[in-house]
Amino acid sequence: MSGKSNITTKEQGASASPLSDLSAGANTAATSNGSSSGPTTAVAPPSAKSRKNPIESKSQKPSFLSLIFCCGANFVNDSDASALQVGQQTRPPTVSTGRAAGKKAVAGQLADEKPPQAQATLVDIAATAVLEDPVGSNSNSQEIEPPGLLGPIAPEHQGRKCLVLDLDETLVHSSFKLIPQADYVVPVEIDNQSHNVYVIKRPGVDTFLQKMGEIYEVVIFTASLSKYADPVLDMLDIHKVIKHRLFRESCFNHKGNYVKDLSVIGRDLKNTIIIDNSPASYIFHQTNAVPISSWFNDPHDTELLDLIPFLADMTVVDDVNPILDMTNEEQQ
């Protein structure tokens, strides 16, 4: 995207962009608490380019258009930022995996898409619920895991690992500025006016999604709003392999960043992998992450295709955490 636009990209930071996102960077891999009884090594994924440390990045005010599609820029607006306290974290009071509706634009900002206000007490929605024996006998209580954001695993995905994919600058690049020969043009209404969003696909994305759909339960988790991301995914998913879509309202607002908290999606973390160009997005689950560089328009990019053999190898390991932890440490 051109620097003349009032929108910048992730790589440029959030100085003025609806598409701004933190550059893909080397994440500080947390030490895995689990151990794997399966293979301890796998083909190392290609190292991501142009990495930055999200902790060192300085937050800046985004353009109001950044409230439409965040692409991992992870910035909240001024009213949200004022509610945040140092060390406080907030979770959305409700979660949704469907298409959000009824969004209302007020003064150029989507009022119902703001992250929630800070709360003094956090409720761990990933905690297990204990059900008492209805008969009142001395039998052991039964622990039931909540379904999480994704709900129960479909029969066809039983035994598969879960692959969580970012959208913007990972699979596609979008801009309000005209892009010649854009793959898609998505109209988005802002303040009762329609604006075109021009979308181009990362090289190899069609093949990548097709191959991943054959061996993983594929989830798209984006910090963008559904009013933009849904129509993009409708056109992008030509092989019908994306089984779940999570949008901004499912993100965790952590110190002004939109973080994708894998602990609440309802899948075993040892069987869950996230691919995202923004390290801040997976800051809570660095040993589940496969970093990838931010993509804007390079026609010779091959990172998605290069990841296919590595991700195929990961399907047979007992626990992805120690392998990704080791791999990420080696690439730092």
Predicted local confidence at residue 221, as pLDDT: 98
Q: What is the pLDDT of residues 172-193, one digit of tens each?
A: 999 999 999 999 999 999 889 9
Q: Which residues is 106 bridged to in the sheet? A: 109
The catalytically annotated residue of 21, 78, 112, 168 is 168
- How confident is the model over 42-47, as a mean pLDDT? 58
Does pLDDT of 312 surpass 60?
yes
Domain ranges across the chain: 10-331
Three-state secondary structure call for residue 209: helix
Predicted local confidence at residue 145, as pLDDT: 54
Lowest mean pLDDT among 188-197, 202-211, 240-249: 188-197
Is 24 in contact with 292 (CB distance < 8 Å)? yes
**Binning pLDDT at 50, 70 and 90, where does residue 89 land?**
very low
Does pLDDT of 42 surpass 80?
no
Q: Which residues is 9 bridged to in the sheet? A: 19
Q: How does strand 242-246 pair with strand 216-221?
A: parallel
**Binning pLDDT at 50, 70 and 90, where does residue 328 land?**
confident
**Binning pLDDT at 50, 70 and 90, where does residue 331 land?**
confident
pLDDT top residue among 169 and 40: 169
User: What are 207's two structure tokens?
Assistant: 């093949």
Fold for the domain defined by 10-331? Rossmann fold (3.40.50)
Is 283 in contact with 175 (CB distance < 8 Å)? no
Question: Is-catalytic flag, 78?
Answer: no
Is 176 in contact with 331 (CB distance < 8 Å)? no
Q: What is the pLDDT of residues 213-237, one digit of tens each?
A: 999 999 999 999 999 999 999 999 9
Q: What is the pLDDT of residues 143-173, one digit of tens each?
A: 445 579 999 999 999 999 999 999 999 999 9
Q: Is the pTM of this model over 0.75?
A: no
- Read off the amino acid at residue 316: V
What average pLDDT does the chain have? 71
Does pLDDT of 86 surpass 50?
no
Does pLDDT of 92 surpass 80?
no
Predicted local confidence at residue 298, as pLDDT: 97
**Binning pLDDT at 50, 70 and 90, where does residue 327 land?**
confident
The catalytically annotated residue of 21, 80, 166, 325 is 166
Q: What is the pLDDT of residues 253-262, one digit of tens each?
A: 898 899 999 9
